[in-house]
Structure 1
Amino acid sequence: MNGRWLGAMPVDAFLNKYIPATKKPLSDLPDNPFENVPRDGMESGLYDPFITAIQRWMPHLQAVNTSNKDDIANKLNLKTDISMYNRVEGVASPERTDFSRTELWMEFKAKKDGAAFQDPRDDTEEKRVLAIETGSFTPDTDKGNRARGQLAHYAGALHSQQFRHFSFSIFVQGDHARFLRWDPSGAVVTAAFNYRANPRLMAEFLWRFNHLSPEQRGHDVSVRPANLVPEVDARVREKLGIQDQNIPLYKYEVPGLAGLGYSYGPRPPTQNRSLVSRCTRTSPAVWIPTEVVDSGPRSCGEPEPPSEHNADQLSSQDGLKKGPWSEVRLVYMKDTWRFLSDLPDVDMRPEHEIYEILRHHKTPNIPELVVGGDVEGGRTRTQEFVDAPWLCVKPRISPYQHYRLLHGIVGRPLFKFECTKQLVAAVFDALKAHAHAVEHARILHRDISAGNIILTDEGKGLLIDWELAKLMSERGSRRPDRTGTWQFMSANLLWQPGKMHTVTDDLESFMHVLGWMTLRYVPACDSYNARRRGKDMALLFDDYDEGEECIVQGGREKRMALRGESYPSDTFEPRTPTPLRGLLKDLSFPFKSFYAMWPPTAEDRKKANVPTECLDRQLIKLRYDIEQYDQDIEDLQSPTWFINTMKTALNKKEWPTDDKADDKLPIAFPRAAPRQAQHKADELRQSQSVWEHATAVQSSSKRAASPTPGPTSKRHRGTPAASGIQS
């Protein structure tokens, strides 16, 4: 969240911008509405008196003291101090934290806890500039960091449990309060105001919020309860394999098919607890066409027919009379926030348009039926204030647009491979899709990961999630940070956040997909237990350093393993002999040269470039090493060598058929702890020549490295976390 707390916005400006005034104005306030809220004593003694004071301004909402009651409904070990829920006739409000139903939440801190935010004392340009330079608005103290982290954690939990475009919250510290607005770009924070001395601001906010529509409160109105008739509901659950009748179904609008039908399914699961991100959620769903009237399909704004789908419609294909979306079908739905760029001459194509280009060039091994579009009202607004006159932080904001996409094929995750040969064959299929896209469509995927390769029912691999793909004709950086999923990114990209993404980086990611899947799922001998797996995975794939200005770097352990030819692990031993381990050794071999500690210098080449009869043993070895180095670097410049190497391995007869993914392993393994900054200094010195070599390689391939990201850089996708596939 560093650089993503935009404040301090004047309170009146915040209210006028986000919380429209009501037709019925707020009535006169009591002289001192907060007189019964104690100034001293335990923080827990504030909640109930505060609720009593504010409840009069929220007739449609119920404020509940949830400070000691975790959200058990959603299995979250989190609790807000005060949660506010809609009053529904005949339905009791939750008595504890429930992020899936929360409309507004409040967090309290005592003044002695240390400032979470610190406004400039004087509202002058000089003081504001000083605050920007020193970062004083978000004090870098343990208590301040912890308090802001707590706020961000709650906001992320709320958005993970609801269909949201944005949300609001209130933060109270001592006698002062702030309003916050959250969206996937960050948080807008108001200046502090004394709610005792100026209670009208608190009352006005709550009164207006009470009268806001769901859309004005931030709800995504393109998703609604399914409300299917029982027969259809049962068929949808059957198709999706949902046995629990308590799991609610929802009706999703698909922008690219507005009015032609809807997809139905549960709320997609999410592993993402961070608000500031692409917030990607994926899930199978059932596509059901709408009825076709004489005048043609309805537009998105026209009213729906009076009756819902019936069972006959679901089991037949009598809807639309033509086209692939005329049939009820199982689909794969992706709901995400796609990155937008305000840079000139930058074309950020939506993912479905990338698929159109790929299909035009007959790219194999990708989903053929794809449709998608931007969700109305789903654009972030935090970025609107990066130049605001009241801003007293150095912003690091990325804008996003809510986006929804359907694949006409569901497939199954890569980790459900039936044998290691199928695993390798699926990655090989995806590699061929990547190679064709690079050679013919001139598109680079830039997010090769285990979650972006799926298996069809026939065991074929498909490369999906082209959201971050880029036309290779585009020069320079479209965005100020890394592109990819942390565990599978090249060591080069992890260490150099501003480096331009190349074909070599994607090829290394394919290798990391196999390496990660091997350590995570391939059945191993008894000595390679879950603890050993977790340690190896955390070290190799989750390794990271926290540097200055919150620039996160990693890849050290990947480089060390590749240099030492110990990739992915010297201790891993498969339970059943398989060529997979040998393949990983072969694939990793050229990277020993790429990440060489001392690549050949001009002096080395001059020494070795002498007539053969003049060579002694030392020069013979030097010439061999240089030739091997040059060959390795050449092999890493295109997918050809990777394809040939994998094809050779797949043609071997030694592949077992009974070494399917181990489903008895734990869901998550221990996390890797970040190393301190002083550990980075040695690595920087040791690896200086590595990056000089990398720059030379990029120059030889006519790809200039982009500059190191500046203050506008965004949180990288896939912040190091417990090992798991990130969508």
Structure 2
Amino acid sequence: MAGRGTRGFVALDAEASPVRFVWLKDAWRTNYMFVAQEGDVLQELNRAEVPYVPTLICHGDLPGQETETPTWWERKHPLPTNQPSLSTITSHVQSIASSSRTLVNPAPRFLQSTKRSASEMEEGGNGREDCPLRRHKHYRVVVEEVAIKLVHFQDGQQLLRIIANCVCAHAEAVTKANIMHRDISGGNILILPKAVVGSDGGSIDMRWTGLLVDWELSKPLKGEAGLPRPRQPERTGTWQFMSAAVLNNHGKLLEISDELESFFHVTLYYAVRYLRSNCTNVGGFIEDYFDTYTVENGMYRCGWQKSSTVSGGVLRVDTDGTPLRFGSRLDKFFEKALQWFKAHYTVQAYQRAQASKATAKASNLDPMQSQPIMRKIDAGEFRLFSQAEDSDSDSDSELDSSRPRAESLPPPSATQLKEAGKIKTHEAMLRHLVKVISVEKWPQDRVSGDNVPANDVPKNPVGPTPIPYAPAIKRARTEALQQGHALSSMECAFFSEPPRTPPRRGTIV
């Protein structure tokens, strides 16, 4: 079994009157302190009357069904009495940059800090930090709504309407229930068909609305469980739809702007894959925008195309810079949203530059660094070069690095600050969505099938070629001995484990 083994069933509630169909979700939920059961979260949302979320019927753990593999793993890999120092090894870990899923080889996982320490998590009794296995309990939850996948939307207007419903659900969950969803993805946005009585009082119309589901990874914004600390060993979320800011800073606290950006990425994914546009290589676009990544200091970070799109404010379909166009009001939605995201990242970049400047200024106050090195230079040694004319030579003032330099990033303008503030709350995004979809005529822009061919093959490999286990251990031990360390077999095993990559595009439907 991979992941949480989640399965869903249309079930019959025989005790209801009248008898009705319901949705039963069967999964192995993560079992950690401060991680609430999804049913408890839904109950809070229902009490707060948050719209466009599932209606809870019942939920609970299955007695006696809890994973024991983490306990067995810890018994099989006891901690050594004396932990070796890894400072020398970590000093040799170099930054690696990859434009896509090439054969990269990041630092071993125990050097990457992909697992969160027990002291950092503040979760006594949840197991060791180096255990690669999560703790789970078998869990079931039943809700009233039986929905369909987002892929079945009929046109661009309906897609935006469903997204607007779910943004509304997210907004009211934050304001009314103080709960942040934290896993906005295509699989967690569903379509709920509803039969409603027509305006004439006799006809029955079918209305499709959005439904924001899978609140199991949500987090309260207040109380002990809402404190800014990690609750699970690894970062939660769906790689393809996470914001560029979160992908580039794994320790970042999730904000409304990150969630709104995730809604943007979901809309773009389904629009470019299932609607008509001027993109001729949809498979390549999806791979470059959603699936690629870079590697820096042994950590996965945001791919270049997604990062450049939200920071540059323009959607492009090729290297020539051709703007992506759908020929509908979808273009207006993407254009305005990207205008806000561009301003947001401009402000964030300036704030980071100011913080770095303050840090550098503080370090220059160190007496050990402020004392200049005095050295005599024999001018005759370079007389042949000094006699030659050079119109491109810099003046002494330009070469003097001790003089103050001009700011590399100008402060954001008042307009940029105003536009960046648009995504601090949901209000502007909701107003914009309503404005875009408020039109009677919409082009028939849904394609008959999938813009990604069935035989489409990713142009880049998913990750590094697997390394045989035994040679990797031998090589790791040799390298460790050269550095003066003796590593345990458990620690050496981490060297042979290839980096875990984001899931392939084909897994998203």
* Common fold: TM-score over 0.5: yes
Residue number among 305, 323, 327 corresponding to 1:557 in the alignment: 305
Contact 1:280 1:337 in 2 (8 A): yes
**Residues 723, 340 of structure 1: CA spacing in aligned structure 2 closer, same or farther, 3 A cutoff?**
same
Superposition map of 1:396-475 within 5 A = 396-457=132-193, 458-473=207-222, 474-475=226-227
Report if the CA contact (8 A) 1:486-1:719 is conserved: yes
Which of 599, 613, 627 aligns to 2:350? It is 599
Give the corresponding residue for 1:278. 4
Instruction: Using the TM superposition, give the Cα deviation of residue 408 of structure 1 relative to its aligned residue in structure 2, in angstroms.
Output: 1.7
Counterpart of 1:626 in structure 2 is 413
Alignment of 1:516 with 2:269, yes or no, is yes
For the pair 1:670 / 2:457, whether they are aligned, the reply is: yes
Aligned to 2:385: none
Q: What are the superposed Cα offsets for residues 85-122 of structure 1, whole Å, 9 maximum, x if unpaired?
A: xxxxxxxxxxxxxxxxxxxxxxxxxxxxxxxxxxxxxx
Take 2:508 and 2:438, find their aligned partners in 1: how far apart are those partners? 29
Tell me whether 1:578 sits opposite 2:365 in the alignment: no
The 5 A counterparts of 1:198-347 are 275=2, 277-282=3-8, 284-289=9-14, 320=15, 325-341=16-32, 346-347=33-34
**Are positions 1:380 and 2:67 aligned together?**
yes
Kindly state the Cα deviation for residue 654 of structure 1 after the two structures are TM-superposed.
5.4
Verify the 8 A CA contact 1:546 1:676 in the aligned structure 2. no
Contact residue 181 and residue 215 of structure 2 kept, 8 A: yes
| Shift of residue 673, structure 1, vs aligned partner | 3.0
Once the two structures are superposed, residues 525-578 of structure 1 have per-residue CA deviations (whole angstroms, 9 ceiling, x without a partner) of 5xx34xx100000011111245666x433343211112222236445443xx31
C-alpha distance in structure 1 between counterparts of 2:46 and 2:341, whole Å: 32
Deviation digits for residues 26-61 of structure 1, max 9, x if unmatched? xxxxxxxxxxxxxxxxxxxxxxxxxxxxxxxxxxxx
- Kindly indicate whether the alpha-carbon contact (under 8 Å) linking 1:380 and 1:401 is maintained by their aligned counterparts in 2: yes
Tell me by how many angstroms 1:719 deviates: 2.9
Is 2:46 the counterpart of 1:359? yes
Aligned residue pairs, count: 354
- Give, in whole Å, the separation in 1 of the partners of 2:77 and 2:270: 49
- Distance, in Å, in 2 between the alignment partners of 1:339 and 1:716 is 22
- Residues 670 and 407 of structure 1: CA distance in aligned 2, closer, same or farther (over 3 Å): farther
Q: CA deviation at 1:652?
A: 4.1
1:663 to 1:676, Cα distance in 2 relative to 1, 3 A: closer
Where 2:350 maps in the other structure, the secondary structure is coil
- Counterpart Cα distance in 1 of 2:65 and 2:455: 32
Is the 2:463–2:501 contact (alpha carbons within 8 Å) kept by the matching residues of 1? no
Q: In 1, Cα distance between the equivalents of 2:211 and 2:501?
A: 21
Does 1:478 pair with 2:165?
A: no
Tell me by how many angstroms 1:391 deviates. Answer: 3.2
Report what 2:399 is aligned to: none
Q: What secondary structure is seen at the aligned counterpart in 2 of 1:492?
A: helix
**Contact conserved, 1:544 with 1:553, CA < 8 A, in 2?**
yes
Q: Is the 8 A contact 1:435 1:639 kept in 2?
A: yes
Q: 1:491 to 1:365 in 2, by over 3 A?
A: same
**Equivalent position of 1:588 in the other structure:** 338
Tell me, yes or no, if the aligned pair for 2:288 and 2:303 is still in contact at 8 Å.
Answer: no
Shift of 1:594: 2.7
- Secondary structure of 1:641's aligned partner: helix
d(CA) in 2 for partners of 1:668, 1:373:
42
Letter in structure 1 aligned against 2:218: A
- The corresponding residue for 2:505 is 722
SS of residue paired to 1:460: strand
Q: Unmatched 5+ residue regions in structure 1?
A: 1-158, 160-274, 290-319, 604-618, 678-710
Q: Given the alignment of the two structures, is residue 350 of structure 1 paired with residue 103 of structure 2, yes or no?
A: no
Q: In structure 2, what is the Cα distance between the partners aligned to 1:519 and 1:589?
A: 19
Please give the alpha-carbon distance, in whole angstroms, between the structure 2 residues aligned to 1:668 and 1:403.
37
Q: Secondary structure at the residue paired with 1:359?
A: helix
| Percent identity over paired residues | 27
Contact 2:314 2:323 survives alignment (8 Å): no
Give the drift of 1:461.
Answer: 0.9
Question: CA–CA distance in 2 between the matches of 1:371 and 1:348?
Answer: 18
- CA apart distance, 1:479: 1.6
Look up the SS of the partner of 2:230 in the other structure: coil
Deviation digits for residues 268-308 of structure 1, max 9, x if unmatched?
xxxxxxx2x223233x423152xxxxxxxxxxxxxxxxxxx
| Contact persistence 1:523–1:662 (CA under 8 A) | no
TM-score (norm. length: structure 1): 0.45
Matching of residue 492 in structure 1 with residue 183 in structure 2: no
Gaps of 5+ in 2: 80-109, 111-129, 194-206, 356-406, 465-493
- Give the conservation status (yes or no) of the 8 Å contact 1:330–1:410: yes
Q: C-alpha displacement at 1:513, in angstroms?
A: 0.9
Per the alignment, do residues 494 and 598 of structure 1 end up closer, same or farther by CA in structure 2, a change over 3 Å counting?
A: closer
Please state how far the C-alpha of 1:487 moved relative to its aligned partner: 1.1
Provide Cα deviations, 1:121-176, integer angstroms capped at 9, x if missing partner.
xxxxxxxxxxxxxxxxxxxxxxxxxxxxxxxxxxxxxx3xxxxxxxxxxxxxxxxx
Secondary structure of the 1:599 match is helix
Contact between 1:495 and 1:553, CA under 8 Å: does it hold in 2?
A: yes
Work out the CA distance in 2 between the residues paired with 1:361 and 1:420: 31
The whole-number CA distance in structure 2 between the counterparts of 1:716 and 1:498 is 19
Written as runs of structure 1 = structure 2, the 5 A alignment for 1:49-88 is none
Cα distance in 1 for partners of 2:417, 2:254 equals 21
Given that 1:568 and 1:584 are in contact with CA atoms closer than 8 Å, whether structure 2 keeps it comes out as no
Q: TM-score, normalised by structure 2?
A: 0.62
- CA distance 1:653–1:642, shift in 2 (3 Å): same
Cα deviation for residue 438 of structure 1 reads 0.4
Deviation at 1:622, TM superposition (A): 6.3
Query: For residues 416 and 395 of structure 1, do their structure 2 counterparts lie closer, same or farther at Cα, with a shift above 3 Å needed?
Result: same
**Cα distance in 2 for residues equivalent to 1:414 and 1:505:** 21
Q: Is the 8 A contact 2:60 2:141 kept in 1?
A: yes
Q: Which residue of 2 aligns with 1:112?
A: none
- Cα deviation code 1:164-207 (max 9, x no counterpart): xxxxxxxxxxxxxxxxxxxxxxxxxxxxxxxxxxxxxxxxxxxx
3-state DSSP of counterpart to 2:208? coil
In the TM superposition, residue 591 of structure 1 has moved relative to its aligned partner by 1.5
Secondary structure of the residue aligned to 1:481 is coil
Task: Tell me the SS of whatever aligns to 1:482.
Answer: coil
Q: Deviations over 1:654-681 (max 9, x none)?
A: 533x22354244458433636999xxxx
- The change in CA–CA distance for 1:287 and 1:279 in structure 2 (over 3 A counts) is same
Q: Which has the higher helix share?
A: 2
- By how many angstroms is 1:580 displaced? 0.6
Q: Distance in 1 between matches of 2:239 and 2:354?
A: 35
CA RMSD of aligned residues (A): 3.3
Specify which structure has the bigger relative contact order, considering alpha-carbon pairs within 8 angstroms and separated by 6 or more residues. Answer: 2
Within 5 Å, give how 1:611-650 maps onto structure 2: 625-650=412-437
| Stretch moving more, 446-455 or 371-380 | 371-380
